[in-house]
Amino acid sequence: MLLTLTYRGNRATDLGYLLHKNPSRTQEFEMSFGRAYVFYPKAEETECSAALLIDLNPVDLVRGKVGSTEGGLFDYINDRPYVASSFMSTALSKVYSTAMSGRCNSRPELAASPLDLEASITMLTCRGDAELVHRVFEPLGYTVSFQSFVLDDKFPEWGNSDYVDLTIRGKVKLCDLLNHLYVLIPVFDKQKHYWMSEDEVEKLLRHGKGWLSSHPEMKLITRRYFNRKKSFANRVIEQLLDAEDIESAIEESSGEDEAILSEQETTELEATALKAKEKYISLNNQRLDAVVQAVRDCGAKSVVDLGCGEGRLLSRLIVENQITKLLGLDVSIFALERARERLHLDRIAEYKRDKVTLVQGSLTYRDKRIEGFDAACVVEVMEHMDIDRLPAFERVVFEFALPRTVIITTPNVEYNKNYERLSTDMMRHHDHRFEWTRAEFRAWSESICKRFGYSVSYTDIGDIDEEVGAPTQMGVFTKCE
Amino acid sequence: MRIEIPEFCLVALVGGTSSGKSTFAAKHFKPTEVLSSDFFRGLVADDENAQDASEAAFDALYYVARKRLESLRLTVVDATNVQAAARRKVIELAKEQNCHPVAIVFNMPERICKERNALRPERQLPDRVIQRHCNDLRRSIKGLKREGFRFIYILNSPDEVKTVELVRTPLWNNKKNEHGPFDIIGDVHGCYDELHEMLTILGYIENTEGVMSHPDGRRAVFLGDLCDRGPKNTAVLRLVMSMVQHGTALCVPGNHDIKLMRYLKGRNVQLTHGLQKTADELAQESEEFRSDVAKFLDSLISHYVLDNGKLVVAHAGIKEHFQGRGSARVRDFCLYGETTGETDEYGLPVRLDWANEYRGQAMVVYGHIPQMEPAILNNTYCLDTGCVFGGKLTALRYPEREIISVKAKNVYYEPLKPLLSEVNTYDDILNIGDVSGKLHLHTRLMPVIDVREDNAAAALEVMSRFAVDPHWLIYLPPTMSPCETSKLPDYLEHPNEAFAYYREKGVQKVVCEKKHMGSRAVITLCRDTETAKQRFGVTDNSRGIVYTRTGRRFFNDMALENAILDRLDITLTQSDFWDDFNTDWVCLDTELMPWSAKAQALLQKQYAPVGCAGRTALQKAIEALEKVCQRKNLAYEVSKNTSGKNVDIAQVLESFKEREACVNSYINAYREYCWPVASIGDLKIAPFHLLATEGSVHTDKDHVWHMETIKKYITGTDSIFMATEYLVVDVTDDKSMQSGTDWWLSLTGSGGEGMVVKPYTFIAQRGDELLQPAVKCRGREYLRIIYSPEYTMPEHMKRLKKRGLNRKRRLALREFSLGMESLERFVSKEPLYRVHECVFAVLAFESEPVDPRL
């Protein structure tokens, strides 16, 4: 909302010439998203400050004219009018465009020299990572100070807000300061109010000229500037780096990008669970190997994957030639879309395509479409169901769908102690409703066998810990003749 | 010539080219009833004569024919059909669809066909083709009956074709014009005394001709199995035959009746399962009587479709797609039901349970399977309660749906296996077919409600992943529309418009209830876990639940949920609620406070940050603006070198100060609804609807009753239960309305959300129009947390006033109708899927995009 630039020195009011804004005037500028004002709260011989104040129209935001990103109330009750965001960068480039280019016909030598300049940015979003402020601004020669705020003093237990009032001061050219601010404000806020087009790459290169390539946090700045547009970020990095550095940079970017996403989008708990995922990825493969082997062993020709998700198991099964019919069922339409993409159903060979069907369904509803299969796989699915829905699930699978073989995997909660990031009361995934010990899973399995006429054998999947067993437990249920 | 065909059948026109089939078809059938092979050739190949497209054309033709027959529409196949192979397809389709195949044959002299062919402008076939057609046809005629055609008409000359009068006759099973009322009686099996007693209880008396008849014209319907095993078979036969003959009863055949008929016709049948008894009795009767019995039994129709299709009767029941059709398969089903071919440990056939999967609109009443109690499932009623086995004889009065039983006076026959005491539990499992695709629901308040497929898909995900056990979900609350937008400059919403809405709809009295700012919570509580198990089918030993408006469990902390339920139970027990309402369970609509109990994340991630950022930023802006205003050396001359225009900074300062005040009010507004919850005692629960108890949905009582009943039984003793303040307003009386407005102003002035204005009666209608069950009228300050902190700034207010409510109101009505319907269905003990589909539909509507600020 507010950015104040202060120049301290002899004839400080020359700042007016540099900014092309007369210190004795108060001016208003029409912006596409509202209004901007420029005025000088202080205009004295030794110290002169120019304020850029944005009056953002919140109703326009809501109407989706500008900056509307998500639906729901989030657009109506919005911090955008009050915080330093890409709206500020846009205003800077419009109101101070000449100053930004370094042009000043009346005081050219002043424009070209480093001056004692200070910028105060109110309400910069830094999402708990105040340290970043130092890492980003100090290499550019600024001294940095900031003030944080409690979210609501009536409820101190809610903690601090994500916002700081930031002041940076250094000996820099005015045009450099303006360019730094133009690029770096959105790096903190990360939420761009406009749709990024191709020329955004060129814009960053232009405003970053002369300082961005040598900045130690260049990659981070670039990536966050483009937020989710990874391809744009990579193109900028490419242009800023020497050829040999490029490949490694792009490789790194994928991992880091995920970290940024998780920081932004997942809660504390999820983030921790995600980190435990490092060990997880290879486990996922081991699990799929075990399931595919079990499917082979039972000689199934038709297989239904209950809770197929994005189709990781299906993509393994589709290449198994003995399988002639595959059905993937999931409750999430979105997951099914991803599965369709992952399996490349629009371009794989017809004989493969014709064996696969994807349908939306739910494991707690009786479903004729899943009846008559040789085998059913329920891989890391049941723990996503509330435990009081299990009776319905059991009947849907074992009484009505009635496959000859049912392959079920689920986490072994005893193994969780090996995940450092998981505290004792946490589960491996935020959506898990329960995680069972080996004894619990076995007790459940035995009761299934008794009630529905199946026999079961168990397999451990993943590294086996002598004391607590393997991370994943698998039960293969076979219908008794 | 008179051609009579059933109103529903598959007609094959048989005749060579140029024999006059299409002309005939055009004269006697609707154009849409006639599927011509030429037309389909044109569809698939752009050429009606393209013989190489015949295969594709017939594929398409039979596809369409099947669709028509599936929906019980007479269909005519206009193709030459002169070869047996072609006709076989007709026969097979007719059999598959359980309808009669009819052949109308155009056996024209070859000469005439040739002449006509020569006159055809667009297409002339070689004479040899015509000759071949005529030869094929002549050879075919004899075999048509053997091929399977039930009705065959042969036309031998153009003159004969001209004289044809085509008549469509109703199917024998079609008694849709008979509207009853009926008294439908289950399997009698020779229990004459019980039958006579039953008829007497039902009000039948012997008329002057000695026939049992009902003075009000009611008619008895017998579900078959009149004889065997019981003591007085001939007496039963005499009674029923005379009633049917004199039109005071209808009768469908049972498997025992058919076997008896075969016996009487001299077929070789085993005298088992009690037939011996009947045979012995009949041996005492005259030859004439025996012959009458045989004729009577032979004349019985497998099932009847009655009362505009709303009622279907058949001995062993009937699936939806068999109703109103005739075929051997349908008849067998009606007589024997469907069996797996296996037998159980008693040597009885294992039955497939059609009733469990029955989803038809028509009520089906049947017998055949003896059980201790009438089995009511998915709109089907099994009335065989094993009278002959010492059970009882059962009748169902239609349309009253009232069940009447007469106890057996004796065990006349030892049952082969014990009578089933428990109705099967299959209906406990929900079927994906009931909730996927486009949903089409019928409710009492709105006859038809459609749910789009994508909305249903979204609801399936939410229901499966997040909602509580469907057994508990007997109701979801509807969305509520605000009142019309206020015309007053400072207000977006104001009571004037709420009052006006109901006044214009002809409602005089409304009940204004304080709107609590918390989270909606539906509470269902049973007196004990046994009730939860028996009545709700919940098996996890819980006794109640608190859930949100989207069907999710309100509390993650089960101990807290249990504590609330326990306290509610204590309160209800102390107030004698359970006894006074004669119920073991209750369902309440409530608001649970504080808002922060449920919305903590929303507050911390969205509401508080906006307040924090707004307050700080505006403070800083105002400081800067004040400084510049204090400067003396400001100038106002315009310079060409700048792009900006001069502005009166003092005015800017004023407007920013106003904005700051807005943001501070906003912070105060949300703070009002937050307080820390350390224990259950910090919660407040305000029930406002006593929705349902055993046997009653309390929507027949007005809102004052709800308020007062809740006060009497629930609030006042335990501090967590809170009464809701309310005020009755006469919307035709200015003074009364003014008091309502004043009340609203005082509520909202002291931080309240506002009020909800409801028509005095729970359900309000004007003619056919269902009125909004409630409209909300929210306070000026409260709306800051909905429309943005600064919405009251005049330039924003002006634009925000343009809001459309229609979509929201339509949604509110549909969701309300569905919510009421699910409660009604639950209370009348309809199967789970019937309750679930309503709740599911409410959830589906919640995925409709609608302005969330409304």
**Nearest-CB residue to A151 (from B604, B623, B648):** B604
Residues 98-157 of A with CB under 8 A from B: 122-123, 149-152, 154-155, 157
DSSP code, position A213: T
Contact by Cβ (8 Å): B202, B186 = no
> Residue B427 above 80 pLDDT?
no
Q: What is the pLDDT of residues B691-748, one digit of tens each?
A: 999 999 999 999 999 999 999 999 989 999 999 999 999 999 999 999 999 999 999 9
- The mean pLDDT of A391-415, rounded to a whole number, is 94
Domain that holds residue B129: 2-169
Q: Could you tell me if B582 and B601 lie in one domain? A: no
Q: Which helix (H) or strand (E) holds A57?
A: none
Q: Is the Cβ pair B633, A396 closer than 8 Å?
A: no
| Nearest-by-CA chain A residue for B784 | A77
Assess whether pLDDT exceeds 50 at residue A62: yes
Chain segment B129-173, per-residue pLDDT in tens: 888 988 899 989 999 999 999 999 999 999 999 999 999 999 999
Q: Are residues B560 and B684 in the same domain?
A: yes
> Could you give the C-alpha distances from B574 to B275, B531, B571, in angstroms and in order?
62, 19, 5
CA atoms within 13 A on the CB side of B607: 27
Is B646 an 8 Å CB contact of chain A?
A: yes
DSSP string for B256-286: HHHHHHHHHTT------TTHHHHHHHHHTS-
**Are B616 and A123 in contact (CB < 8 Å)?**
yes
B582, B604: one domain: no
pLDDT of A278 > 70? The answer is: no
- Out of B470, B621, B627, name the one closest to residue A53 (CB): B621
* Confidence (pLDDT) at B371: 87
Domain check: are B265 and B410 in the same one?
yes
First-to-last C-alpha distance (Å) of chain A: 74
Sign of the four-CA dihedral A203, A205, A206, A207: positive
The verdict on a CB contact (< 8 Å) between B432 and A25 is no
Q: Could you read off the pLDDT of B357-376 as tens digits, one per residue? A: 888 889 999 999 888 888 88
- Cβ contact, residue pair B628, A41, below 8 Å: yes
What's chain B's Rg over C-alpha atoms? 37
Greatest extent of chain A over all pairs of C-alpha atoms, in Å:
99
- Cβ–Cβ below 8 Å for A365 and B785: no
pLDDT greater at residue A55 or residue A243: A55
What are B307's two structure tokens?
A: 């009362």
Residue A264 has pLDDT above 60, yes or no: no
Asked if the A2-195 domain carries CATH number 3.40.50.9100, the reply is no
The dihedrals phi and psi of A257, each to the nearest 5 degrees, come to -60, -40
Please give the residue of chain B at the shortest CA–CA distance from A55.
Answer: B656
- Give the pLDDT of residue B507: 95
Domain boundary among B153, B169, B185: B169
Q: Between residues B633 and A171, which one has the greater pLDDT?
A: A171
Give pLDDT, residue A267.
Answer: 34
pLDDT (0 to 100) of residue A257: 32
* Same domain flag for B660 and B703: no
pLDDT at A396: 95
**Interchain proximity A24–B633, CB inside 8 Å:** yes
Q: Give the residue among B341, B304, B340, B310 at the shortest CA–CA distance from B322.
A: B304
Cβ contact (<8 Å) for B652 and A26?
A: yes
Q: Would an 8 Å CB–CB cutoff place B425 in contact with chain A?
A: no
Is B613 close to A78, i.e. CB distance below 8 A? no
pLDDT at A241: 61
Rounded Cα distance, B618 and B771, in Å: 45
Domain match, B482 and B625 both: no
B457 in reach of chain A (CB within 8 A): yes
Q: In this structure, what token pair is assigned to residue B393? A: 């004889």
Strands (E), A389-470: 405-411, 454-461
pLDDT at position A270 over 50: no
Q: How far is A152 from chain B (nearest CA, A)?
A: 6
Task: Average the pLDDT over each of A34-48, A256-270, B425-439 and give the range with the smallest value.
Answer: A256-270
* Final residue of a structural domain among B134, B169, B204: B169
The DSSP element (H or E) to which B332 belongs, if any, is helix B328-336
Q: For chain B, what is the domain count?
A: 4
Domain ranges of chain A: 2-195, 279-479
> Measured between CB atoms, does B529 come within 8 Å of chain A?
no
B642 pLDDT band, cuts 50/70/90, is: low
- pLDDT at residue A390 tops 50: yes
Q: At what angle do helices B608-630 and B649-672 cross, to 10 degrees?
A: 160
Structure ipTM over 0.90, yes or no: no
Q: Are residue B697 and residue B727 in the same domain, yes or no?
A: yes
User: Is pLDDT at A65 greater than 50 in this prediction?
Assistant: no
Q: What is the pLDDT averaged over residues B34-49? A: 93
DSSP assignment of B713-752 equals HTTTTSTTB----EEEEETT-HHHHHHHHHHHHHHHHTT-
Touching check for B437 and chain A: CB below 8 Å?
A: no
The beta strand positions in B733-815, using DSSP E, are: 754-759, 765-766, 769-770, 775-778
A13–chain B nearest CA distance, Å: 12
Interface check A338 vs B, CB under 8 A = no
Whether B755 and B659 map to the same domain: the answer is no
A77 Cβ under 8 Å from any chain B Cβ? yes
B424 to chain A, any CB pair closer than 8 A? The answer is no
Q: How many CA atoms lie within 13 A of B783 on its CB side?
A: 27
Q: Which of B424, B451, B485 is the last residue of a domain?
A: B424
Distance from CA of B62 to the nearest CA of A (A): 25
- Residues B212, B163 within the same domain: no
A315-324, B38-47, B420-429, B478-487, range with the lowest pLDDT: B420-429
Our CA-based measurement puts residue B606 at a distance from the nearest CA of chain A, in whole angstroms, of 7
CATH number for the domain including B90?
A: 3.40.50.300
B56-67 burial by CB neighbour count: b if 16+ within 10 A, else e? ebbebbbeebee
Please name the amino acid found at residue A203.
K
Contacts of A38 in chain B (CB under 8 A): 644
pLDDT the model gives residue A34: 86
**Of A343, A337, A297, which Cα lies nearest the Cα of A316?**
A343
Asked if the model's pLDDT at residue A248 lies above 70, the reply is: no
What's the token pair of residue B173?
Answer: 């099973």
Q: Which residues in chain B are closer than 8 Å to A57, comparing Cβ atoms?
A: 796
Q: Given an 8 Å threshold on Cβ–Cβ distance, is B642 in contact with A53?
A: no
Q: Is A24 on the interface with B (CB under 8 A)?
A: yes
Tokens representing residue A70 in the block = 């998500």
Tell me which of B760 and B121 has the higher pLDDT: B760
Query: Cα-atom radius of gyration of chain A, to the nearest Å?
Result: 30
Q: How confident is the model over A433-466, as pLDDT tens digits?
A: 999 999 999 999 999 999 999 999 999 998 888 8
The residue among A16, A29, A7, A105 whose CA lies nearest residue B635 is A16
Measure CB to CB from residue A331 to each of B433, B461, B646 and give the nearest one. B461
* pLDDT attached to residue A66: 40
Task: Please provide the average confidence, as pLDDT, over all residues in chain A.
Answer: 84
Are B297 and B233 contained in the same domain?
A: yes
Say what the pLDDT of residue B281 is.
Answer: 94
Assigned CATH for A279-479: 3.40.50.150
CA–CA distances in Å: residue B341 to residues A312, B102, B333, B349, B352: 42, 33, 14, 7, 10
The pLDDT-based confidence of A68 (bands split at 50, 70, 90) is very low
Q: Are residues B383 and B395 in the same domain?
A: yes
Query: Which chain A residues are Cβ-neighbours of B667 within 8 angstroms?
Result: 152
User: CB distance from A71 to chain B under 8 Å?
Assistant: yes
Structure confidence at residue B643 (pLDDT): 61
Task: Indicate the pTM of the whole model.
Answer: 0.78
Among partner residues B604, B616, B788, which is closest to A58 by beta-carbon distance? B788
B513/B602 same-domain check: no
B602 contact residues in A (CB cutoff 8 A): 73
pLDDT value of residue A274: 43
Helix (H) or strand (E) holding B524: strand B519-526
Chain B residues lying within 8 Å of A20, measured CB to CB: 641-642
Q: CA-to-CA distance for B276 and B730, rounded, in angstroms? A: 77
| B184, part of any domain | yes
Pick B771 or A259 by higher pLDDT: B771
Phi, psi of A72 (to 5 degrees): 75, -175
* CA distance linking residue A188 with residue A191, whole number of Å: 9
Higher pLDDT, B341 or B110: B110
Distance from CA of B800 to the nearest CA of A (A): 8
Query: Judged by CB atoms within 8 Å, which residues 366-405 of A form the interface with B?
Result: 366-369, 384, 386-389, 391-392, 395-396, 400
